[in-house]
Amino acid sequence: MRRNFHEMKEPTVMIIPMIDIMLFLLVFFMISSIFMVQSNTIQVNLPAASTAKRDTRPNIIPVAVAADGTIQYKQETISIRELPGKVKESLLADAETVFVLRGDKKTPYENVVSVLDVLKRSGTRHVSIATEKRGE
């Protein structure tokens, strides 16, 4: 059989593989963004609770208290005196902001309570205390 090189076929566009690639990219970026949100605070060992669940509100600000008493607001290490100003600034931007208090289980209870007190005095309406789910 001989091939006729003068005969031109019109190229076809395969749209199904393009859709597959776009869906793969969408899932990849969704999953990678979940891990990026969780890695924006200092590493603390959370106490466990059997009723722990994840808060899914859109504007969540992590406030972490490390074992040595260091306070980290978002990704910035601050003192307890700077905390009310930062909190009020965030509440002016969005009154429904959720503050997630992450206290290391080895930090003194007084440090966590003082941060919680500052959050409440600053006018927050939504404060959550982060824990890890206890394996049963």
- pLDDT band of residue 23 (cuts 50, 70, 90) is very high
**Is residue 61 assigned to a domain?**
yes
**DSSP letter (8 states) at residue 9:** P
Could you tell me the residue range of the domain that residue 118 belongs to?
48-133
Q: Is there a domain that residue 71 lies in?
A: yes
Q: How many CB atoms lie within 10 A of CB 13?
A: 5
Q: What average pLDDT does the structure give for the chain?
A: 82
Query: What's residue 13's pLDDT?
Result: 81
- Beta strands 76-78 and 71-73 are antiparallel
Number of domains in the chain: 1
Three-class DSSP category at 51: coil
Q: What is the pLDDT of residue 21?
A: 92
- CB-neighbour burial class of residue 23 (10 A; exposed 0-12, middle 13-18, buried 19+): exposed
**How much of the chain, in percent, has pLDDT values that exceed 70?**
83
The verdict on residue 55 lying in a domain is: yes
Whether 34 is in a domain gets the answer no
* Inside any domain, residue 1: no
Q: Is residue 73 part of a domain?
A: yes
- The answer to whether residue 54 scores a pLDDT higher than 70 is no
Range of lowest pLDDT (30-34, 63-67, 91-95, 120-124):
30-34
CA 116 from chain centre, in angstroms, equals: 20
Contact 86, 73 (CB under 8 A): yes
pTM: 0.57
Residue 117 maps to a domain? yes
Q: What is the CATH number of the domain that holds 110?
A: 3.30.420.270
Question: For 83-127, what is each residue's pLDDT tens digit?
Answer: 999 999 989 988 888 899 988 888 888 988 999 999 999 888 888
Residue 21 domain-assigned (yes or no): no
